[in-house]
Amino acid sequence: MKQLWLAAPGKTELRTVPVPEPGRGELLIKVEAALTCGTDLKAWQRGHRLIPMPGPFGHEFSGTVAAAGSGVRKFRPGDAVMAVHTAPCLDCDYCKKGFYNLCRNIMDTKVLGAFGQYVLLPRRIVQVNTYHKPKALSFEEAAFLEPLSCVVHGVERLEAGGKGENALIFGAGPIGLLHLVLLKAKGLRAAVCDPGPARLRLSKKLGADAAFRPEDAKKAVERFAPLGADYVIECTGRREVWQSAPEYARRGAKIMLFGGLKEGMQVAWPSHRLHYDELTLMASFHFCPRDVRLAVRLLSERRIDVKPLISGICTLAGAERALGRLALGRGIKYVIKT
């Protein structure tokens, strides 16, 4: 089969590799649609500790069951499915406490190689985080399950959705825009801050009540939320945005730090403001099975529309060009077809 490998930062190779055979409890999936994501882009630009090089990459996908291993009862060849690329072990100390996203073993069986004709789903993922795809949902939309599950996890932790609440989102990339459509579906007013004019225009099309550039943020937020935002959501992964996020929050607000920083980076916040204004700083990492279940419902019931986030479709051979466009800030997500 054909599979795109990340050979080195900035370099991919289209390789011919054996088609995997599913073992007990496993599924072989014919990839119908895969999506680019920010992690793929980081790995391609400078490497990533969770994506070995050289090796296959791509982890947002949907497809059709090509073969099922012994013991699989829920799925059979020909079934259209949607899945995520990890699942908790359900047995470690963190899983027993319910912190499934922090499972000690969650990355041991992660699936990489969605930029290829087939992927093999381990037994754990088949049992916990694989679902039948509704006929009305396209494979391209179903491939959003993984990033949407991540966003659902953070938004659920915020407990957002009260009457008259508002949110300020920094960053209008794929994750920021998924936050936008989910928060709007929950009934919140939402503002988006991003330096890219095209992304600001897309934010407005997706329902943003305000969209502005970083240099205009101070005055724009004063108009949007005179007291400050109820929720400030950081989706850029930039230290200066982490640092400034509390400046835009009202007293008693919650601040979600979603975009991860490089290991070793440190951020300092004014202790007086955090304490006397009772600001809550929280972070979000990965997802739990319950988040995946909710994301499946959101997509299947058409409660959110992810189609506007698709910027184009390309082949495996054109995937590197798509990554190059993303590196220049052109587009949101590209669909990779085999």
Q: Which tokens is 285 given?
A: 């990492």
Count Cα atoms within 13 angstroms, Cβ side, for 80: 13
What band does 286 get if pLDDT is binned at 50, 70 and 90? very high
What's the pLDDT score for residue 135? 96
What's the pLDDT score for residue 229? 98
Indicate the CATH number for domain 151-283. 3.40.50.720
The yes-or-no verdict on residue 47 having pLDDT over 90 is no
Query: What phi and psi values does residue 169 have, to the nearest 5 degrees?
Result: -110, 125
What's the pLDDT score for residue 87? 98
- Sign for the CA dihedral angle at 298, 150, 148, 68 comes to negative
pLDDT in tens, 2-41: 999 999 888 999 999 999 999 999 999 999 999 999 888 8
% of the chain beyond a pLDDT of 90: 90
Top-level CATH class of 2-144+306-337?
Answer: alpha beta
CB neighbours of 293 closer than 8 A, spacing ≥ 6?
none
What band does 276 get if pLDDT is binned at 50, 70 and 90? very high
What's the pLDDT score for residue 41? 87
What band does 163 get if pLDDT is binned at 50, 70 and 90? confident
The yes-or-no verdict on residue 49 having pLDDT over 80 is no
What's the pLDDT score for residue 111? 96
The yes-or-no verdict on residue 182 having pLDDT over 90 is yes
Nearest to 195, CA basis, from 212, 183, 176, 218: 212
Among 133-147, 172-186, 317-331, name the one with the lowest average pLDDT.
317-331
pLDDT in tens, 253-273: 999 999 989 889 999 999 999
Nearest to 59, CA basis, from 25, 109, 11, 124: 109
Q: Is 337 within 8 Å of 33 (Cβ atoms)?
A: yes
**Mean pLDDT for the stretch of residues 240-246:** 96
The yes-or-no verdict on residue 52 having pLDDT over 90 is no
Provide the residue count of the chain. Answer: 338
Per-residue three-class SS string for the chain: CEEEEEEECCEEEEEECCCCCCCCCCEEEEEEEEECCHHHHHHHHHCECCECCCEECCCEEEEEEEEECCCCCCCCCCCEEEECCCCCCCCCHHHHCCCHHHCCCCCCCCCCCCCECEEEECHHHHHHCEEECCCCCCHHHHCCHHHHHHHHHHHHHHCCCCCCCEEEEECCCHHHHHHHHHHHHCCCEEEEECCCHHHHHHHHHCCCCEEECHHHHHHHHHHHCCCCEEEEEECCCCHHHHHHHHHHEEEEEEEEECCCCCCCCCCCCCHHHHHHCCCEEEECCCCCHHHHHHHHHHHHCCCCCCHHHEEEEEEHHHHHHHHHHHHCCCCCEEEEEC
CB neighbours of 9 closer than 8 A, spacing ≥ 6?
43, 44, 45, 46, 47, 53
Q: How many CB atoms lie within 10 A of CB 25?
A: 18
The yes-or-no verdict on residue 225 having pLDDT over 90 is yes
What's the pLDDT score for residue 82? 98
**Mean pLDDT for the stretch of residues 158-166:** 89
Report the interhelical angle of 145-158 vs 174-185 (nearest 10°).
60
% of the chain beyond a pLDDT of 70: 100
The yes-or-no verdict on residue 129 having pLDDT over 90 is yes
What's the pLDDT score for residue 312? 95
The yes-or-no verdict on residue 330 having pLDDT over 80 is yes
Domain boundaries, the chain: 2-144+306-337, 151-283
What band does 302 get if pLDDT is binned at 50, 70 and 90? very high
Q: Which tokens is 287 given?
A: 């997802």
What's the pLDDT score for residue 53? 86
What's the pLDDT score for residue 257? 97
User: What is the spatial distance between Cα 38 and Cα 324, in angstroms, rounded to a whole number?
Assistant: 12
The yes-or-no verdict on residue 162 having pLDDT over 80 is no
